[in-house]
Amino acid sequence: MSVAAGSGPVDAPLLPEPVTRPKGVLAFVRRQPLTFLVVSAILAIYVLVAVTGPWWAPYPPDELLTGDPFAPPSWDHLLGTDNFGRDVFSRLVHGERLVLGLALATAGLSVIVGSAVGLLSACLRGWPDELLGRVLEILISIPPLIIALLVLGSLGSSYLLTVSLVALFFAIRVATVIRAAALDVVVEDFVTLAKLRGEPIWSIAGREILPNVSSAVLVEFSLRTGYAVLFIGGLSFLGFGPAPPTPDWGLMINEGRTYISTAPWPVLGPALALAGLVVALSLFTERISEVLGLSVQRAPSQ
């Protein structure tokens, strides 16, 4: 073939369509390890209960004396009753919506704010980024629980305040993770080309960088949901959550702990439900990050 012949031939589309593993939901499900399937099923049940629970729970959450106080588990009261004779199982079911809702709202807010900060910081580069990176490092060293107790103690607790406060703490951590992921992307030439085109910074962050860090964002969301369940549960347990008689799990554990030696059920029920949710979320996160080729950065204590 003559090199200087001007119009070269069209590159023949010799490439076959990429061959991939069998597609379809079923094939994907079959490839997953058993733990992941079990964990997903557990999470699905949690969500299902949260959505439909109030319609089929055997008793209203705050009805007194549905049976004898401190009744042990029976067919009438699957998890027994508490000191007021309220049905622990019904209270768990009713409280689930609150626990999951607050956790998802917190995780969602923290991921949105944290990703935005992390992406913009990485896009700015140079000294603004370095300054912001240092500020984030300083903020990360602030112990969240102490500040949360201080703020909620002085301003009074509300759902909005709790969610925004916890989301703020989490957003700092999300921002550092997303910034680190984005810093690997901003050096790519397609980002330089977008800059040369004169694209505004939010457009570069959103169109060019975000799609390349989306798996990190997803993993952060899943991870933060688990942490939020624990953290908000902890706040409720300490009395900085909703007021009685709200069937919040943390609050239920607190209320029941006085009688734990004689009647463990009112504590065990919500404690196990909380633990199950957190463990399931954690295992779920681990697996999806594995699938997405990321490693979850585990914080020592949240």
Partner 1 sequence: MKPLLEVRDLDIAYSGSRGRMPFRRERADAVVRGVSFTVGANETVALVGESGSGKTTIARAIAGLLVPSRGQILFQDRDIGARVEQRSKELHREIQLVFQNPDSSLNPRRRIRSILDRPLRFFFRLSRRARRERIGELLQDVHLDPRYMHRFPRQLSGGERQRVAIAGALAAEPKLILCDEIVSALDVSVQANILDLLRELQAKRGISYLFIAHDLAVVRWLAQRVLVLYRGHVMEEGTSDEVFSRPFHPYTEMLLKSVPEPDVSRPLLAVAETDGRTDGVGWTGKGCPFSSLCPRHLGSICDEETPPRRRVSPTHALLCHIPPAELAAAQASLDSLGDGAASHRASGS
Angle between helical axes of 265-291 and 88-124 (0-180°, round to 10): 30
CA–CA–CA angle 232, 151, 300 (5° rounding): 45
CB of 125 to partner 1, least distance (A): 6
Between residues 124 and 161, which has the closer beta carbon with respect to partner 1? 124
Distance CA 112, CA 170 (A): 11
Contact 116, 210 (CB under 8 A): no
CB of 217 to partner 1, least distance (A): 13
Among 8, 22, 24, 300, binds partner 1 (CB under 8 A): 8
Answer yes or no whether residue 10 interacts with partner 1 by CB under 8 A: yes
Between residues 7 and 295, which has the closer beta carbon with respect to partner 1? 7
Tokens of 278: 């957190």
Between residues 17 and 156, which has the closer beta carbon with respect to partner 1? 17
Tokens of 38: 């079990």
What is the identity of the amino acid at 67?
G
- C-alpha separations of 50 from 80, 146, 183, 216, 277 in Å: 20, 30, 39, 27, 12
Between residues 16 and 300, which has the closer beta carbon with respect to partner 1? 16
Answer yes or no whether residue 87 interacts with partner 1 by CB under 8 A: no
Strand partners, 81: 87
Buried b (16+ CB within 10 A) or exposed e, 197-215: eebeeeebbeebbbebbeb
CB of 119 to partner 1, least distance (A): 14
Distance CA 232, CA 158 (A): 12
Distance CA 62, CA 74 (A): 19
Between residues 146 and 196, which has the closer beta carbon with respect to partner 1? 196
Q: How many residues form the binding site for partner 1 (CB under 8 A)?
A: 34
Sole window of 27-35, 124-132, 156-164, 223-231 interacting with partner 1 (rule: CB under 8 A): 124-132
**Site mask for partner 1 (CB under 8 A), range 243-282, x = bound:** ----------------------------------------
CB of 126 to partner 1, least distance (A): 5
Between residues 12 and 243, which has the closer beta carbon with respect to partner 1? 12
**Site mask for partner 1 (CB under 8 A), range 131-160, x = bound:** x-----------------------------
Q: 14-53: which residues touch partner 1 (CB under 8 A)? A: 15, 18
Give the phi and the psi of residue 81 in degrees, each rounded to 5. Answer: -130, 160
- C-alpha separations of 173 from 99, 123, 220, 235, 280 in Å: 22, 18, 9, 19, 22
CB of 268 to partner 1, least distance (A): 47
CB of 201 to partner 1, least distance (A): 10
Give the phi and the psi of residue 87 in degrees, each rounded to 5. Answer: -75, 115
Strand partners, 87: 81
Contact 82, 255 (CB under 8 A): yes
CB of 1 to partner 1, least distance (A): 8
**Site mask for partner 1 (CB under 8 A), range 182-221, x = bound:** ------xxx-xxxxxxxx-------xx--xx-x-------
Residues lying near partner 1 in the complex (CB under 8 A): 2-11, 13, 15, 18, 125-127, 130-131, 188-190, 192-199, 207-208, 211-212, 214
